[in-house]
Every structure is written in structure tokens, then in C-alpha cells.
Amino acid sequence: MEALDEKEDNPEVLVADLLNVIEKAKNDDRVQLLVLQLSGLKSAGLSKLQDVGSALTHFKTAGKKIIALGDSFSQDQYYLASHADDIWMNPQGFMLLDGYDRYNLYFKSALEKLSINQHIFRVGTFKSAVEPFIRDDMSEQAKQANTLWLNDLWQQYKVDVAKQRDFDVSNFDDKIEDLLNKFSKANSSFANYALENKWIDQLKTRTQMRNDLISLVGKNKKGDSYNHIGYKNYLAATSSILPEENNFKNKVAVIIAKGPILNGTQKPGTIGGDSTAKLLRQARYNDEVKAVVLRVDSPGGSAFASEIIRQEVERLKTAGKPVVASMGTYAASGGYWISASADQIIASPSTSLTINAGIVTLGPPTPPPIAIGSPGALFTTITAIAPSFSAANTLPPNSHAPRLTIAIFPDKSAPLRIGSHASFTSPLVPSSTTTAVSSVIAVDVNSPPKSAATAG
């Protein structure tokens, strides 16, 4: 059978489904071989990769072989491929294991050039989520924190892969000089480099891979490929049409809290303060539920929504139902907040972030006084409006930000009044825009600006 090579509308594959398929295939006499085609795997947390890797190792105890094949392998894809008995890669393929990293986009200077300001409140030296708004580079505190958890994660990755491939952990992290020497000896081929590094076992073209698999399991009905069934089809074929009955009176409710934490009701893949609290409340009122496992996999989010969820955890405990928080790839900030009140907290060794480094909030800007006619007008203000005046840096017409319309005219005889309408142009608004006038100021637009208008 094949795994992870089928296109879906939703690219996510549930780990529980994948583990279920591997276990069923292990005990299915019709399945002789497990083929890992991992091109569909875009990214995955190390904790989830470890769960799947353990299932693959268990699969081999049935005496069945695993072959991983691909044109190339990303770092996450290779982690699973390392559990195979044989790894095949295209001779023209690419593979390079360069460790874990973290890159952010910083735009403090960009905001300043656009005359956009923010009211930012931060508590916690290591609370780095807001740094892109207030810096143009990563702070030393953020570098220190990121280096700590990334190095730990990479060390776990290397130990796991080295064990599966039966080579030393030192078979990673080549210095640039060593990498260039090895690459030169490999005829400047990443595929040959991977082969000589013992990361893979064989180089085969797609045709060679197909023919070799046909020799192992035979042809399919069409005769154009090897005999196989895909992951989705096998999952459907081995799943019961009728829902499984659970007659046990004592049950453990498993509630998934995955994704960023937002207020209100949210769809699966995002944690909603109201929707997740509702699930916890249902478990509290269900007499058959005796305990709850809260599976947390979240980088954090809304403090308000996190507190709503945490309060429901407290109510479960008050009702005499123990709560265990089980942490996945992330349990940071709000993710830790909703876990903190559990009776027990269990984290995977490869849980990337289990920390609440502080809080941060971004408030709407209060426009400072703006010199009439200057290009420093905020996006929350429309300035310098008159029949013969082009405004600079004005508010885009579809914005919902607060507006202050200031009509400027050369002399007091201009016919504009508060409540009337004026047309203006701006570099940010392609065509002339008409808006109601809320302030009328008389200035000489031909002289240097001397007055200022405040949006308040």
C-alpha cells in the first residue's frame, strides 16, 4: 500500500487515522509491503513524526518490509523515510539536512515610512511575538530562547534518524568546508552526496522504481504500475460503515485544542474560546465521562479566550472529573495557559515550546498632531482636502479605520462648510474621492505649514 501520496482538498492528514492504517496493514495478510511516497507531506511537528515513526517500527515486527521512495526528501519527509528498510531516491533528486531554524519578517522601519504607529504593551523580556512591529531584527533574548529549543529539537531528530539508519550522530552538521569537499567528490550531485553520506540506499529513476516494485508485488489490473492501494482507499475499505458502539459506562473524553486561540466559535484547526469551552462543558455534564484528556497543540492567541477555556477546566475539576493536559508540537503562551489548571500536564520530549513568556497587546493608534500639507498624515486620518489640493498618505476608501475629514482652502471665502462634501485625490486612491467634511481650516497652502490638526 502507499501512504501520503494522494491529493486532498484538505491537505491535513489526521495522525490517528495514519496510525490506524499502519496498524491494520500490519495485521492484514493481503498487505506484503508498505511503500512510503512522502511528497504529499509538507510539514509536521517532530512529536507527530515520532508517533508515526514508532508505528512504522512496530509494523516491521510482522516481518513486512517498508520502502521509502521519492524524487527528493525534505527534512520532515526524511525522518519518516529513515524508518524504512530501503530508501530510493531519483538520481536527479535533492536532499540536504540543515537543521531547524526560525526566520521572522521585521517591519518597524516600513511602518515608520508609512507613518503608521502602534500602541504596544508587552510583559515579559522573552515575549518576542510582537518584535516584528517594534524591531528590524531579532532581539538577543529571542535569539537565546530560539537557539535553546531549536538545538534541543535538532538533537532529538539526529539521534532518532541515526538510530534508524545505523550510523553515528556525527553524520550531520557538516562544516561548510567539509560539505564542499564531499559535494565535489559526489560530482556536484546532491543525490550522490546523500548516497555517499548513507542517508539513502539506492538511486533509481521513476521507471526503475516502478519495475522493481512490480517484481516484488506484481502488476496492477491495468498493467501500468505495481499492485497497490492508496492510503485513503485503504482507510475507507477497512473502516466500519456503522459507528462503533461503546457500551462502557466509564469513559474518558479526549478534547482536541489545536491551532491558534481565537475568541468565539471556531472551526476545527483553530481553538475557539466559546467552542472549546462548550466541549469541556459537555464533558462535565455527561455522567458517563469520568475524566478528560485535553490534547493541546497551540502556539497561543487570545488571552480572553484562553481564560474562558481555563475556567471550564477548573469547573471540570470541581465536578470531580480529573483533567490531564497532553501537549503536542506546541503549548506556548495561551496553549500553556489553558493547560495550567489541569491535574497533570504531560508533554512529549519533542514538544517544541512549553512556555508562557508573557503577554502582549496591540492597540489602535491615536494620531498625533499632523502638520497641514506634510506627507506624514496617518492612515486613520484624511487630511488636506480642497478642490485644488492633492492629499498625501490618505485613507484607502475601503478601510474601516476612524476618519477625520479636514477641508483646507486658500482663503475664508471658500464655499466649504462642515457637513458639506469635498473631492480630493491621493497617491493611495487612484481616482477622485468625495467625502463629508468634518473640519474646516483656513490656511495658506502656498506658505510653509504652520498649523496642525489633531484627530480626536
Catalytic residues: 127, 333
DSSP code, position 264: S
Sign of the Cα torsion 354, 358, 359, 360 reads: negative
What is the DSSP-derived secondary structure letter of residue 60?
Answer: G
Strand 119-123 with 65-70, pairing: unpaired
Query: Which residues, in sequence order, are CB contacts of 51 under 8 Å at separation 6+?
Result: 15, 19
In whole angstroms, give the CA distance from residue 369 to residue 455. 8
> How many other C-beta atoms are found inside a 10 Å radius of the C-beta of residue 170?
9
Q: Going by DSSP bridges, is the β-strand pair 370-371/421-426 parallel, antiparallel, or unpaired?
A: unpaired
The beta strand positions in 246-380, using DSSP E, are 251-258, 261-262, 271-272, 289-298, 323-332, 344-347, 353-355, 359-363, 370-371
73, 97 Cβ separation under 8 angstroms: no
Helices 303-318 and 273-285 pack at an angle, to 10 degrees, of 0
Residue 226 near residue 214, CB atoms below 8 Å? yes
Distance between CA atoms of residues 215 and 224, nearest Å:
13
Closest CA to 133 of 148, 121, 151, 149: 121
- Which triple of cell numbers denotes residue 427? 497617491
Residue with cell 471550564: 312
Alpha-carbon distance of 21 to 6, in angstroms, equals 15
Residue 312, C-beta contacts closer than 8 angstroms, at least 6 positions apart = 276, 277, 280, 281, 284
* Count of CA atoms in the C-beta half-sphere (13 A) of 362: 11
Contact 451, 441 (CB under 8 A): yes
Q: Among candidates 360, 358, 378, 359, which has minimal Cα distance to 368?
A: 378
293 forms bridges with which residues in the sheet? 254, 324
- What is the β-pairing status of strands 261-262 and 271-272? parallel
Q: Is 285 helix (H, G, I), strand (E, B) or coil?
A: helix
In this structure, which amino acid lies at residue 100?
Y
C-alpha cell at 18: 495514519
